[in-house]
A and B are shown apart, each in its own frame.
Chain A
Amino acid sequence: MKQKIFLFLIAISFIVGLIGLYRYLTIGHSLLNLNSAVPWGLWVAVYIWFVGISAGNYFIVMFWNIIKNKKLSNLTTISAILSLSTLSAGLLSILLDLGHIERFYKLFISVNFSSVMGWMGFFYSIFTFILLVTLVLSFIKKDVTTKFYVAGIVISSLVILVESMLFARPPGKHWHSIIFPIHFFVTSILSGTGILMFIAGLLKKDNTSLISKTLLVLLIVNLVVEIIDIVSMGTISNLKIIYLLTANLIPIILLILNIHTLKTFVGLFCGIGVLATKYDSLITAQLKQPFKGFENAFFEPGLAFSYIPSFTEWLVTIFLISFSVTFFYVFYKSITSLSSKLVR
Chain B
Amino acid sequence: MSTKIKEDILIRMQNDLKRALTKPVEKRKWAMLIDLRKCVGCHACTIACKAENVLPPGVVYRRVLEIESGKYPDVERHFVPVLCNHCDKTPCVDACPVKATKKRVDGIVDIDYNHCIGCRACLNACPYGARTSDFGKFYTQDTPKIQPYELRPAFEYQKKWYRKKGNSPIGNARKCHFCLHRIESGLLPECVVTCIGKATYFGDIEDKSSLIFEIINSNNVKVLKEKLKLKPRVYYIGLKEELL
- Which chain A residues have a beta carbon within 8 Å of chain B's beta carbons? 28-30, 32, 34-37, 39-40, 97-100, 103-104, 106-107, 110-112, 114-118, 120-121, 166, 169-173, 286, 289-294, 296-298, 300-303
When chains A and B are docked, how far (Å) is the Cα of A115 from the Cα of B135? 23
- Contact between chains at A30 and B137 (CB < 8 Å): yes
When chains A and B are docked, how far (Å) is the Cα of A151 from the Cα of B117? 32
Which residues of B sit under 8 angstroms from A118, Cβ to Cβ?
97-98
Which residues of B sit under 8 angstroms from A300, Cβ to Cβ?
57-58, 60
Which residues of B sit under 8 angstroms from A117, Cβ to Cβ?
95, 97, 119, 121
Which residues of B sit under 8 angstroms from A116, Cβ to Cβ?
95
- Contact between chains at B96 and A112 (CB < 8 Å): yes
Which residues of B sit under 8 angstroms from A169, Cβ to Cβ?
95, 125
- Contact between chains at B58 and A303 (CB < 8 Å): yes
A-B contact count (CB 8 A): 162
Q: Which of B30-38, B126-134, B149-157 contacts A (4 or more CB under 8 A)?
A: B126-134
Which residues of B sit under 8 angstroms from A32, Cβ to Cβ?
135
Contact of B228 among A97, A111, A114, A171 (CB under 8 A): A171
- Contact between chains at A292 and B118 (CB < 8 Å): no
Which residues of A sit under 8 angstroms from B117, Cβ to Cβ?
98-100, 103-104, 106-107
- Contact between chains at B172 and A293 (CB < 8 Å): no
- Contact between chains at A294 and B65 (CB < 8 Å): yes
Listed A/B pairs (23) with beta-carbon separation below 8 Å: A29-B136, A39-B120, A99-B171, A100-B168, A100-B172, A103-B117, A112-B94, A112-B97, A112-B98, A115-B97, A169-B125, A170-B95, A172-B127, A172-B225, A292-B65, A293-B66, A294-B63, A294-B65, A297-B82, A298-B60, A301-B57, A301-B137, A302-B58
- Contact between chains at B119 and A98 (CB < 8 Å): yes
Q: A32-B135, A114-B94 are in contact. Are A290 and B127 (CB under 8 A)?
A: yes
When chains A and B are docked, how far (Å) is the Cα of A39 from the Cα of B63? 18
| Closest A residue, CB atoms, query B173 | A99
B116 within 8 Å of A (CB atoms) = yes
When chains A and B are docked, how far (Å) is the Cα of A114 from the Cα of B135? 26
When chains A and B are docked, how far (Å) is the Cα of A302 from the Cα of B99? 26
| Closest A residue, CB atoms, query B169 | A99
Which residues of A sit under 8 angstroms from B82, Cβ to Cβ?
291, 294, 297
Total chain B interface residues with beta-carbon distance under 8 A: 57
B243 within 8 Å of A (CB atoms) = yes
- Contact between chains at A301 and B58 (CB < 8 Å): yes
B64 within 8 Å of A (CB atoms) = yes
Mask: chain B, 185-227; 1 = CB below 8 Å from A; 0 = not: 0000000000000000000000000000000000000001100
Nearest Cβ in chain A — how far from B161, in angstroms? 14
Contact of B97 among A97, A111, A293, A301 (CB under 8 A): A111
Contact of A106 among B98, B123, B228 (CB under 8 A): B98
Contact of B65 among A103, A106, A291 (CB under 8 A): A291
| Closest B residue, CB atoms, query A106 | B98
Given contacts A34-B135, A111-B99, 11 further A-B contacts (CB under 8 A): A36-B59, A99-B172, A100-B168, A100-B172, A112-B99, A170-B124, A170-B126, A297-B66, A301-B58, A303-B58, A303-B132
- Contact between chains at B135 and A298 (CB < 8 Å): no
Nearest Cβ in chain A — how far from B122, in angstroms? 9
| Closest B residue, CB atoms, query A104 | B117
Q: A98-B118, A99-B119, A294-B65 are in contact. Are A110 and B98 (CB under 8 A)?
A: yes
Which residues of B sit under 8 angstroms from A292, Cβ to Cβ?
65, 67, 243-244
Nearest Cβ in chain A — how far from B243, in angstroms? 7
Nearest Cβ in chain A — how far from B6, in angstroms? 33
- Contact between chains at A30 and B141 (CB < 8 Å): yes
Residue of B43, B56, B99 ringed by the most chain A CB atoms within 10 A: B99
- Contact between chains at B59 and A111 (CB < 8 Å): no
Residue of B63, B126, B135, B228 ringed by the most chain A CB atoms within 10 A: B135
Which residues of A sit under 8 angstroms from B80, Cβ to Cβ?
291
Nearest Cβ in chain A — how far from B172, in angstroms? 6
Which residues of B sit under 8 angstroms from A40, Cβ to Cβ?
120, 124
When chains A and B are docked, how far (Å) is the Cα of A118 from the Cα of B91? 14
Nearest Cβ in chain B — how far from A179, in angstroms? 18
When chains A and B are docked, how far (Å) is the Cα of A110 from the Cα of B97? 8
Contact of B121 among A115, A289, A293, A302 (CB under 8 A): A115
Which residues of B sit under 8 angstroms from A302, Cβ to Cβ?
56-59, 132, 135, 137
- Contact between chains at A110 and B115 (CB < 8 Å): yes
When chains A and B are docked, how far (Å) is the Cα of A303 from the Cα of B131? 11
When chains A and B are docked, how far (Å) is the Cα of A37 from the Cα of B130? 10
